[in-house]
Structure 1
Amino acid sequence: MQSTVQSGKTELLIEKENQYGAHNYHPLPVVLEKGEGVLLWDVEGKQYYDFLSAYSAVNQGHCHPRIIAALKRQAEKLTLTSRAFYNDQLGAFEAYLCSLFGYDKALVMNSGVEAVESAMKLCRKWAYKVKGISGEGAKIVFAKGNFHGRTISVISASDDDSAKKDFGPFVPGIVQVPYNDLAALEQLFAEDPGIAGFIVEPIQGEAGVVLPDENYLPGVHALCKKYNVLYIADEIQTGIARTGSMLASYEVGSTEKLDRPDVLILGKAISGGVLPVSAVLADDEVMLTIQPGEHGSTYGGNPLACAVAMEAMQVVLDEKLAENAARLGVLFRAGLEEMAKRIKLIRLVRGKGLLNAIVIDCDEHSDLAWEICMRFKENGLLAKPTHGNKIRLAPPLVITETQIIACLQIIEKSLTDFVSAS
């Protein structure tokens, strides 16, 4: 009887979302109500390891006590002023970001896609005010296979049919180039003086954790300098210690700024998954091209978000989460590689730090990866397929070695069940 009641509760809540919510997502059929560290619990009380981390937004773990304490302290004082006035948290947060990442200025927004849109506007304004591109001729280059969000201008840069179908017409001034192809990028830069910027993910997350060659990002940096093009790194998913270093695009703290992008985009884990916070960082030559009244956000830079994000970022540093991600990422991938030798369902293992994926040996249009994630769920681990046959595996960075080993056992058991049944 108890099992029937619990199952009914889950079904009722799922049906309520289906009845009253837009059908723009296809979630796994689990209804979550509590999280702590790397663990989640559903409304039935069942416990799971979280291996999605809200798409890398909860790098610090669910409901980190220091971040929640900062939220409570600030929420009792002041939450929102708009940018019509100064507040006592924004300047401190901007200074924190600029000092940590090595830029002159920070523009604080809310969602990741807002930050990408802001970077696109900055790029175009810089093109006309500084580079000297005439008229409305500035173009922005994006890598094929990208994912930067869901707004009209951002999907204009996508080559994913499911993101674009029936949403046109699209924004002009967008050019695509193959990812991890420096020769194609240079040819594009050399042929078109109207190119203002190149926006790229250091590792393509939504595409299935696709890593470029080691010389790719340094090569991008060099080409952008050579052709006076802004190098814009979207580190919304790869940033904040996820890949085993504070950022994936360059070494934070380097005084020489050798490979530092001209514009850095941050989001997701910048607030530890507690509030929507994002930021664009750039030096004065770029950032100060936008003047008062030309861009903004009512909630962007609100004091609650700033206080939470500062504490969230400090947690990453104090708890050495980048180092933990680097060490345990090696252990995790080694376990997956050994598993792949025994279980032929795994075609490929790839990743860096604790941003990893397995490619399932099936067609992209197959339901097999989804069915495997359902089996993961039954066995106490939550993950989600991307692009059909890839399963992203990205736990919160507070995970321990013991927990990594336990999760490898869950993954192997789940995959073995499929092999046995076939």
Structure 2
Amino acid sequence: MKSQITNALSDFFFEYETPRQVLVRNRRVGVVCRLIQLGVLAYIIGWVFIYEKGYQSTDTAVSSVFTKMKGVGYTNVSGRETVWDVADYVFPSQGDASFVVMTNFIITEGQKMGTCPELPGKHTCSSNADCKGGSFKRTGHGQMTGVCVNATKTCEVLTWCPVEDDTYIPDPPLLISAENYTLFIKNSVNFPLFGVKRSNLVEGIDGLYISKCLYDPADAPLCPIFKLGDIVKLSGFSFEKIAKEGGAIGIVVDWTCNLDVHIKHCKPEYSFHGLYGNANEMDEVRTSMGYNFRYAKHYIENGVSKRTLLKVFGIRFDIIVKSLARKFDIIPTLTAIGSGVGIFGVATVVCDLVLLYLLPKREFYKNMKFKYTDTEVQQDSESLALDSKDYSTFEVNAGQIQDKSNNPDSEAGSMETER
């Protein structure tokens, strides 16, 4: 028992098994095999390593964005001159990554709480029965009092009076001068996996440069100051068209960095996109085009609470940070190599299919590749081997007996002499 265990352990630790291989000399199969292997090799080198950078690990950034607008606008509405600065036309004013710049507006001044008729053409009525008191309509301005105003043929409502009339949008936009406003973007990113921190104020971007530069894709691609007119133009829109009813534009800050080279090469790239609406369809009649919201300034006059209501049309800017950093790592490298070596097995599978099922000599190749056994033949062979062993044993014993009889020194011979 001990020797059997020792032999088993010895066989396990000191023996190596290798699969049997058959060398097939066939030009067509050989060419197919090499072409598949060449394709796999091109995939591993070209796609996995060169294009997908399979030898590098990746990380995305934790980002922070700060914005600041500069510029002054001027309007003259019904003889009333107004100068608009950053505090008036930017919403919200905290420097967020998403904000709105007002480019057009409809102003309704001196509103106070009271009763007044709805606008002509809206919620028409012929009698008080058509105006249910205490009810609201989704597109209305207030709560209906149950009175039908004969002068306008509309329902009377309790609301801020006079009601806003937004049927006409000023054209050209009142704040068309917003085209010359400038936007300053300050962005910082942190790649925690690699311990790398960067800012869009990269090497060479100092205070003197910022005071003079203006972003240009070719001449000043790293300048963090952008003219609104240039942003709209680079996104594919006409500023005058988008300023009338508003719109939304995304500013993408792309940090795609290869950290295997010097850190100074990790720089941002800016791109601009219309987030909704098609630049080629702005002139067509579309439902809910543009971007607008209402904003009210409340005040008290002669003890009466009043407000100035503005329906603001503007361009919404969303600053989106896109990041991906790569750096060499032995683990993904070995993983990519291992998977590539495994894919080489495809060539063997395909060539076996061609050999065993497509070629004219497929039966010959099957006999060379596979070794067949038959259970009945195996049993007959074992029986024959057993009979041969018994016969050999009998023959050996018979020979020994004959030798003993012929040997005078044997026990039988001595007995025979004594008689």
- Say which one has the larger Rg: 2
Higher RCO (C-alpha 8 Å, min separation 6) = 1
TM-score in terms of structure 2 length: 0.16
Greater strand content: 2
TM-score in terms of structure 1 length: 0.16
Greater helix content: 1
